């Protein structure tokens, strides 16, 4: 998985070097492909990382933004607290965040939350 993530990051950097613009659809197509492979580059903006978030990760992010605890999020989504922790760690990695507050701030700035 780590090797695939490095490959994805290298592809994004190559695209940037060759001036492939998001408007042409290449970057969107690449991010869609990476999402299908469950690979999300860690060196892109929160907006681009949002493309890689699963629907469950978005639900957990919404719970974090509302100040809910892991237990509250777990009860609301009918999943275990350990599963919430797993989703939270993946959110941190995908958004490049250190903690809950940082993840929520990045999500708001990136337009993932309103």
pLDDT tens-digit series, residues 48-67: 666 678 889 999 999 999 99
Rounded distance, CA 81 to CA 24, Å? 41
More confident residue, 78 or 27: 78
Q: How far is CA 69 from CA 38, 62, 105, 107, 110, in A?
A: 26, 12, 17, 18, 23
In the predicted structure, residue 42 carries a pLDDT above the cut 60: no
Chain center to CA of 29: 16
19-28, 66-75, 88-97: range with highest mean pLDDT: 66-75
Q: Which positions ≥6 away from 4 have C-beta within 8 Å?
A: 37, 39
More confident residue, 26 or 57: 57
Give me the pLDDT at residue 94, please.
Answer: 87
DSSP conformation letters of 89-110:
HHHHHHHT-SSHHHHHHHHHHT
CB < 8 Å & 24+ apart, contacts of 104-110: 104/61, 104/64, 104/65, 106/46, 107/46, 107/50, 107/61, 107/65, 108/65, 109/46, 110/45, 110/46, 110/47, 110/49, 110/50
């Amino acid at each position: 998985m780590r090797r695939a993530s490095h490959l994805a990051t290298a592809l994004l950097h190559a695209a940037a070097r060759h001036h492939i613009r998001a408007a042409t659809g290449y970057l969107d197509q690449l991010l869609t492909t990476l999402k299908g492979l469950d690979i999300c580059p860690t060196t892109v903006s929160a907006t681009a990382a949002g493309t890689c978030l699963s629907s469950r990760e978005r639900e957990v992010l919404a719970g974090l933004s509302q100040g809910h605890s892991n237990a509250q999020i777990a009860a609301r989504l009918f999943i275990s607290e350990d599963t919430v922790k797993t989703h939270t760690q993946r959110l941190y990695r995908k958004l490049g965040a250190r903690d809950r507050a940082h993840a929520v701030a990045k999500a708001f700035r990136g337009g993932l939350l309103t």
